[in-house]
Amino acid sequence: MTLEAILAYLHLLAILTMVVFISSEAALCRVQWLNAAVVERLAKVDMVYGIAAIMVLATGIARTWWGVKGTAWYWTNPLLHVKLTLFIIVGVLSIFPTLTYFRWRKTLRATGKLPAEADILKTRKLVMIQAHLIAVIPLVAVFLARGFGK
């Protein structure tokens, strides 16, 4: 029971960290706010977001293996697969902003030039899509935890 509680806590901590940092990206990635310091900060914020996402996945998998319900219960439930699919979609969507932040930072350091408005808007749109998809995952999780889908 203690292991289950610790795994649940670590999973929730990773989820909250992920949500805080995607929210930070959404707040920072705005045309009117983007300056040299923000470009540098976005790359760092995105790195923490990525680490948190990896921890969400790792702790979630750990819960299926070592949690009370066990792998047979989790992996045969289609709602787990819905959660994972949404999470993978978010992960794939996050690749573009990550690469973009690194490109912006490299250009800024080399030339002092900030990104174009269209590039900022395109990147922010992807960040916002991620943030909204992340908000759907706990809804699926609540139903999964209560045995729906079995």
Q: Which domain holds residue 87?
A: 2-145
Burial classification of residue 84, based on how many CB atoms lie within 10 Å of its CB (0-12 exposed, 13-18 middle, 19 or more buried): middle
The answer to whether 56 and 15 are in contact (CB under 8 A) is: yes
Angstrom distances, CA of residue 42 to CA of 7, 22, 33, 50, 61: 30, 10, 12, 12, 28
Range of lowest pLDDT (29-38, 61-70, 79-88, 96-105)? 61-70
Q: Which residue blocks in 1-149 are alpha helix, DSSP H? A: 2-28, 36-66, 70-75, 78-111, 117-145
Residue with tokens 């901590």: 13
Counted domains in the chain: 1
Query: Is residue 63 included in any domain, yes or no?
Result: yes
* 123 touches 98 (CB < 8 A): no
Residue 98: both structure tokens together: 């990550």
Output the pTM of the full model: 0.93
pLDDT at 135: 96
pLDDT tens track for 111-139: 999 999 999 999 999 999 999 999 999 99
In a domain, 104, yes or no: yes
Would you say residue 140 has pLDDT above 80? yes
Where does the pLDDT of residue 70 fall: very low under 50, low under 70, confident under 90, or very high at 90 and above?
A: confident
Cα three-residue angle 132-144-49, rounded to 5 degrees: 35
In-domain check, residue 59? yes
Residue 131, Cα to own-chain centre: how many angstroms?
Answer: 8
How far apart, in whole angstroms, are the C-alpha atoms of residue 22 and residue 11?
17
* Residue 37 placed within a domain: yes
Residue 150 lies in a domain: no
Domain-located, residue 18 = yes
Query: C-alpha angle 30/33/38, rounded to 5°?
Result: 95
Short-list 38, 59, 51, CA closest to 91? 51
Q: Please state, rounded to an integer, the average pLDDT across all residues of the chain.
A: 96
Q: What is the pLDDT of residue 1?
A: 74
Instruction: Give pLDDT, residue 149.
Output: 78
Q: Is residue 139 part of a domain?
A: yes
